[in-house]
Amino acid sequence: MELNRRQFVKTAGLVLSGFALFPCLPGCQPESLAFGWVTDIHYALARPCWNRIYAEGMVKLNEAIRLFNEKNVDFIIETGDFTDQNMPAQPARTMTYLKAIESSFAGFSGPRYHVLGNHDLDSLSKEQFAQVSVNSGIDKGSTYYSFVRKGYRFVVLDACYRSDGVPYNSNNFHWKDCFIPQEQLDWLKQELEQSNEPVLVFVHQLLDGKGDLYVNNAAQVRAVLEASQKAVAVFQGHKHIGDYKIINGIHYITQRAMVEGYAPEGNSYSIVVIDANALHMQGYRRMVTMEFQFWEKVLM
């Protein structure tokens, strides 16, 4: 389903008032929080292809960063495919693109975070990506991690593994083969078990279905999230047209890709505001605006 406002409002309006998704956990006192979100910039000095305007990623991201600073959001995050490459691949040139777009991302005057996407590893390794990218307060080289802000736990997943468990590394993979290994699943279970906060998840490839765009063991990951009764939303990239689904009480929100279309109109980014009662996602340019009762169960 392509994400559009009418479908979203119709879905999100079916709310059973008074049924909390989970009880307030001990020590859990969430405050209002806002974060800036971008995805699928695909920055590279490459020719346009399939309506992907690679070279305008810097201009588009700078526009978003100016707004995020103006609105003084608590942090910013990009959910993968931060960079792209030329054909044939030239790793040294790809690294210059990564350094340039990271410099733009660093224009935000607060904490910033990354999620690995498949195109980030077309001609670079995870270690090379980590040399340049900064995840505030996170150990260098950690491709999946969590952080807590204002009473919420944010979990970043890395689905850039082949189904045999081998990590993506400089194009040693096919983009349709993405997977979250058992070691990471065990870590996720532990994070959820130990969390006293509501949990929000970020991932590049999709968890809310099956097919070419989806994590191969997405159902297994969803089962872990659902069993915890603490995960309330998943924020995804990868599907450039965007999407929205709710599965067993968890909201799956996919943002439109920043790379699609010419600036300024062909841009897409958002500011997500959450509090104890609701989630409001203000979309800019091509991204729709969404709002729904965050802590209530939606009628399936």
pLDDT interval class at 103 (50, 70, 90): very high
Query: For residue 44, what are the CA distances in angstroms to 92, 167, 235, 261, 263?
Result: 12, 23, 24, 14, 15
What pLDDT was estimated at residue 15? 32
For residues 109-137, give the mean pLDDT: 97
User: Is there a domain that residue 20 lies in?
Assistant: no
pLDDT in tens, 23-47: 345 555 668 999 999 999 999 999 9
Nearest to 173 by CA among 160, 158, 184: 160
Q: How many helical (H) and strand (E) elements, i.e. helices and strands, does the chain have?
A: 6, 14
User: Is there a domain that residue 22 lies in?
Assistant: no
User: Is there a domain that residue 134 lies in?
Assistant: yes
How many C-beta atoms surround the C-beta of residue 62 within 10 A?
Answer: 13
CA distance 142 to 120: 15
User: Is there a domain that residue 283 lies in?
Assistant: yes
Q: Is the pLDDT at 18 greater than 80, yes or no?
A: no
User: Is there a domain that residue 19 lies in?
Assistant: no
Domains: count for the chain: 1
User: Is there a domain that residue 53 lies in?
Assistant: yes
Range of the domain at 47: 5-11+35-298
For residues 56-75, give the mean pLDDT: 98
What pLDDT was estimated at residue 291? 84
Please state the pTM of the whole predicted model: 0.90
pLDDT in tens, 158-198: 999 999 999 999 999 999 999 999 999 999 999 999 999 99
Supply the CATH number for residue 108's domain. Answer: 3.60.21.10
